[in-house]
Amino acid sequence: MDFQDAKSISASAMRAQTNRLRFITENIANADTPGYRRKVATFKEVVDQGRETGRVQSGPVELDRSALDRIYDPSHPLANGDGYYDGSNVALVVEIADAREAQRSYEANLRMFDQARKMRSSLLDILKR
Amino acid sequence: MHSVEGETPKLETPYVMQLAQDLARHSGARQAQIAKNIANADTPGYHARDLKDFSETYQQKKSETEMRLTRSGHIVRSGLAGEPRTFEIGGEAAPNGNDVSLAEQMSLSTDARSKHNLALTVYKSALDVLRTSIGRGR
């Protein structure tokens, strides 16, 4: 384990968090799409030949299984006999909170990346004298 | 350093520099471990790990219970050779079994960074002493 490892681990986590943020964006964009289920990002550790590397990757997409929102609008083409149709199960507040969390994690990883970089460059400073 | 006839003189690194090197290596490895913890802050079931403090480990490098390693691919208890031993920090886990605390990890990484700085500074001044002794000045 050295700084190169530390940097690639942080970079993998930043990539995974970016992916999570993308799902959040998709969810928010589809908040009004009938029948849309919100996507949830999953994370898992990368295992190389049975050994844990510490790197992170996004796992398969999971769909939120909670009930879809039932919206009353008799004039909607998808409305059933009672005048209801299925909306999406996206809650904007949840998405915003999730986005904030993704951002925090991203920042933490970025800081670790920067710190590994600085430590490495101060190591190289010894040679410059 | 006593010289033996017929043997090439060996440059011995002063103990201070050796120690500083070990500390720098240790805090670098620690930094990598912390990066690992923070990267896995959202991985379900992940447990945060940390390296033992340098003051506890620097003297027991060649303990007798350790298996002998003759090449880098040999496997020791914790993984591949050359990888430091880690232990689980423990702490309250989130519902998904993850117990990484970002705040704690941040403070650990600051600690690792300042130890690394310390090691490099000591190494540099030892180097200065060596330079002065051969008359090159600073």
Q: Closest approach of chain B CAs to the CA of A1, in angstroms? A: 6
Q: Closest approach of chain A CAs to the CA of B79, in angstroms? A: 8
Rounded CA separation B64/A127 (Å): 36
Token pair belonging to A123: 């190591």
Q: Are strands A39-40 and A62-63 parallel, antiparallel or unpaired?
A: antiparallel
Return the residue of B nearest to A127 by Cα: B124
Mutation target vs A (from B31, B98, B118; most A CBs, 10 A cutoff): B31
Q: What is the pTM of this model?
A: 0.79
ipTM of the assembly?
Answer: 0.82
3-state secondary structure chain B: CCCCCCCCCCCCCCHHHHHHHHHHHHHHHHHHHHHHHHHCCCCCCCCCEEECCHHHHCCCCCCCCCCCCCCCCCEECCEECCCCCEEECCCCCCCCCCCCCHHHHHHHHHHHHHHHHHHHHHHHHHHHHHHHHCCCCC
- The answer to whether the CB atoms of B120 and A123 lie below 8 A apart is yes
Token pair belonging to B107: 């403070």
Q: Give percent above pLDDT 90 in chain A.
A: 55
A51, A112, A116: residue with CB nearest B79: A51
- The answer to whether the CB atoms of B83 and A1 lie below 8 A apart is yes
- Answer positive or negative: Cα dihedral of B13, B14, B17, B22: positive
The whole-number average pLDDT for the span A67-87 is: 89
Q: Give percent above pLDDT 70 in chain A.
A: 98
Rounded CA separation A119/A116 (Å): 5
pLDDT for residue B131 is more than 70? yes
B29, B43, B120: residue with CB nearest A1: B29
Instruction: Read off the pLDDT of residues B25-71 as tens digits, 9 standing for 90 and up.
Output: 889 999 999 999 999 998 888 899 888 888 887 765 555 455 666 67
The whole-number average pLDDT for the span B97-103 is: 89
Q: Closest approach of chain A CAs to the CA of B9, in angstroms? A: 24
Report chain B's mean pLDDT, rounded to a whole number. 80
A21 part of contact set with chain B, CB < 8 Å: no
